[in-house]
Structure 1
Amino acid sequence: MTYLGTQAEDLSSPPLPYSKICVVGAGSWGTALASVARRAGRQTAIWGRDASVVEAINRSNENPKYLPGIPLPEGIEATADLAAALDGAEAVLLVTPSRTLREICRQMRPHLGAGVPVALCAKGIEAGTGYLLSEVAAEILPGHQIGALSGPTFATETALGHLTAATIAFQFSYADRLDTASSPAARLALSLGSDFFRPYISDDLVGVEVSGAVKNVIAIACGMMTGAGYAENTRAALIVRGMDEMKTLADVFGGRRETVTGLAGAGDLTLTCSSQTSRNMSLGVQLGKGIPRSHCFDGKPVVVEGEVNSVSVMDLARRMNIRMPICESVFRILHRGADVRQTFAELWSRPIEGERRGLTISIDHPSAIQEGAVM
């Protein structure tokens, strides 16, 4: 184990894993993370609202509603009693959508042991406030270190035990930097690491969170263009330019650009924009084909984080006076009724720019000139 900085040094004490981990949220990703923790040898509890899911996990080591047909390791203790799930937990993995995070944190507060760290495992920005999810959790749970677990991690593949890597990020205090092994990020990484799950440690919580929120919106954009019949060239361009929008927003909030090029940024973005296993990508494909939003997912009320995040991301972009044209395009299509093909034609005909920041240039795009409308 080495110091998280530019110099490596020996540490006097070895890192200690957490004995009991509680997963709050028994959907597909929560169940997959409970599987990760249990396979790593931790005592693992999982809380869920649905009594039938809780009963199935305890009875048959399976979550038939969210991960049907995938066997879970024995010993996961499922419960619908939040106090029971949190009893004795040394670390919490909080897997809840951004829209319910604040209320779940309120419910957790009286049952959470003193100083227990909480890692957020969902991605997004709170609607209305524009807060990063870590800011919401920190507000409701004072005295608890708040972090995030993020990366290119489809729940089904993770639960099946396919080789998976992810980033665990917490802000590092002065004490954490003096003894990295005792930091929540290092201890949680050790607690979850196994022969198939490889965690990496980060102290850039903001960069990880911004990456997770924006990549959902970019994935919808990629889906829209795929559904509308555009090809791989287009998707590759959206991924790379979308990553630039992620870097821009991360910069503003003090995140590091290199975090955006890591697992929680480029890794997760590439995965999410490459497969319809992602609900964000899938929604985009359906919309690109002309399917009305109310008919997507066969009319089922599926929560798509990127759809919610598009509003929050654009609110932040406008407040901070930064340009995020791909996210803006997605927002207009989702929430202003803009046409997919027309919107992306306008996106492509914007003035030609320099690719790197230091190259200040703006030239009217030929197609915009021909049409007589410069975007």
Structure 2
Amino acid sequence: MSSSITLLGAGSWGTALAVHLAEAGRDVTLWAHRPAAVERMRRTRQNAPYLPEVHIPSSVRLTADLEAATAAADLWGVAVPSQHLRSVAERLRFVLRDDVTIVSLAKGIENDTLLTMSQVLEEVLGTEDPQAHIGVLYGPSHAEEVADGRPTTVVAAAPEETVAEQIQAAFMTERLRVYVNTDVIGVEIGGSAKNVLAIAAGIGDGVGYGDNAKAALITRGIAEIRRLGLAMGAKPQTFAGLAGIGDLIVTCMSQHSRNRYLGEQIGRGKTLEEVLDGMEMVAEGVRTTQSIHDLAETYGVEMPITEAVYAILFDGRRPREMVERLMTRSAKHENWLPDALQESRPKS
């Protein structure tokens, strides 16, 4: 187990993990790109506005020096917003060592390239050196609860099982249980696309549709996420796991969910611009909606809920109009899959 961990990105998730792992006895360095933010955290041992009520232990080293931060450990957890990952990875190229394992903690799909976070890291950092391992850590894990030490389970995924097990050992504590998976694309698609469905769930809350609608949304939502994942080569069982239905449930149901909150405000009549202007923290689902919409078109996968969220966010369509469209679609079997995926599915 690696007892030294550097967390790159001092938003809510990076901070929560730093607090949790330090209290579990790990040697933790937390990097933020703004020196002023680091000085404020050093002075107050808090990270407002992200986690204002959480105390940062004195054992957590705080720095804005990327070279010093990365030199402090051979396991780096990258917790910057997904659309900023590439720029941080470009800086990491100059400090990368052969013995480093890099764990993406960001959930999202890069706009334009439509690459997952691990794929962005692979593209920028290169794969010539087999020692430069890359994995991800995803699952139903609100930062507020992890920082507070509430029981949480997540999944560590990497192409090589030994790398996933290394990540598991590094992050697992008595209150943070980590499972292993080698289906990286499935974990990343499930853990990213769920933010789109969380916006949809929030819209339903804002309009006042109730529990029946949300249950249907979660169930049919995981079905369309699974369709996309299968088209991209994922394993179907991944979507019944922590990064699939687990992450989808917590993000659609919780008051902690920024994406659900954003959708709720839109459901109450605000514009996307108005909601974003009033939010301190990043709602990954907005940019992810663009990427998932484009991936669905690229792979020829029907994702009606994602299409509805996209139309509301970017085409100015009204929530009630899009719900009526969803409810009056042509009849389907519950286990419906596109013809290409039906043909490739194992025979029972």
| TM-score, normalised with respect to structure 2 | 0.92
Q: Structure 2: state its 5+ residue gaps.
A: 340-348
Rounded to whole Å, the distance in 2 between the matches of 1:59 and 1:359 is: 56
Shift of 1:358: 7.2
Which residue of 66, 79, 96 maps to 1:112? Answer: 96
Greater Cα offset, 251-260 or 233-242: 251-260
Alignment of 1:32 onto 2:16: yes
Structure 2 partner of 1:9: none
Shift of 1:194: 1.5
Which residue of 181, 189, 193 maps to 2:168? Answer: 189
Give the 3-state SS of the residue equivalent to 1:244 in structure 2: helix
Alignment of 1:293 onto 2:281: no
CA separation of 1:276 and 1:303: change in aligned 2, threshold 3 A:
same
Give the 3-state SS of the residue equivalent to 1:207 in structure 2: helix
CA separation of 1:198 and 1:126: change in aligned 2, threshold 3 A:
same
Alignment of 1:153 onto 2:179: no
Asked if structure 2 preserves the Cα contact closer than 8 Å seen for 1:57 and 1:76, the reply is no
Number of positions where the alignment pairs a residue of Structure 1 with one of Structure 2 = 335
Rounded to whole Å, the distance in 2 between the matches of 1:190 and 1:166 is: 12
> Partner letter of residue 94 of structure 2?
P
Structure 2 partner of 1:223: 202
Structure 1 partner of 2:227: 248
Structure 1 partner of 2:82: 98
Shift of 1:19: 3.1
> Partner letter of residue 209 of structure 1?
E
Shift of 1:37: 2.4
Asked if structure 2 preserves the Cα contact closer than 8 Å seen for 1:166 and 1:198, the reply is yes
Shift of 1:129: 0.8
Rounded to whole Å, the distance in 1 between the matches of 2:290 and 2:337 is: 29
Give the 3-state SS of the residue equivalent to 1:111 in structure 2: coil
CA separation of 1:55 and 1:229: change in aligned 2, threshold 3 A:
same
CA separation of 1:86 and 1:256: change in aligned 2, threshold 3 A:
same
Alignment of 1:75 onto 2:59: yes
Asked if structure 2 preserves the Cα contact closer than 8 Å seen for 1:36 and 1:192, the reply is no
> Partner letter of residue 170 of structure 1?
A
> Partner letter of residue 243 of structure 1?
I
CA separation of 1:261 and 1:61: change in aligned 2, threshold 3 A:
same
CA separation of 1:161 and 1:56: change in aligned 2, threshold 3 A:
farther
Rounded to whole Å, the distance in 1 between the matches of 2:40 and 2:182 is: 37
Structure 1 partner of 2:217: 238
Give the 3-state SS of the residue equivalent to 1:353 in structure 2: coil
Within 5 A, what are the aligned runs for 1:281-320? 281-296=260-275, 299-300=278-279, 302-320=281-299
Q: Structure 1: state its 5+ residue gaps.
A: 1-16, 177-182, 361-375
Give the 3-state SS of the residue equivalent to 2:28 in structure 1: strand
Rounded to whole Å, the distance in 2 between the matches of 1:189 and 1:39 is: 17
Alignment of 1:43 onto 2:27: yes
Rounded to whole Å, the distance in 2 between the matches of 1:356 and 1:294 is: 37
Asked if structure 2 preserves the Cα contact closer than 8 Å seen for 1:19 and 1:90, the reply is no
Structure 2 partner of 1:353: 332
CA separation of 1:62 and 1:270: change in aligned 2, threshold 3 A:
same
Shift of 1:279: 1.0
User: Rg: which structure is higher?
Assistant: 1
Which residue of 306, 312, 320 maps to 1:327? Answer: 306
Structure 2 partner of 1:276: 255
Rounded to whole Å, the distance in 1 between the matches of 2:64 and 2:297 is: 41
Asked if structure 1 preserves the Cα contact closer than 8 Å seen for 2:135 and 2:157, the reply is yes
Q: CA RMSD in A?
A: 1.7
CA separation of 1:298 and 1:305: change in aligned 2, threshold 3 A:
closer
> Partner letter of residue 96 of structure 2?
L
Rounded to whole Å, the distance in 2 between the matches of 1:358 and 1:203 is: 24
Which residue of 188, 191, 199 maps to 2:178? Answer: 199
Rounded to whole Å, the distance in 2 between the matches of 1:306 and 1:66 is: 18
Shift of 1:60: 4.3
Asked if structure 1 preserves the Cα contact closer than 8 Å seen for 2:301 and 2:338, the reply is no
Structure 2 partner of 1:6: none
Asked if structure 2 preserves the Cα contact closer than 8 Å seen for 1:227 and 1:289, the reply is yes
Greater Cα offset, 139-148 or 86-95: 139-148
* Percent of aligned pairs sharing the same letter: 38
> Partner letter of residue 149 of structure 1?
L
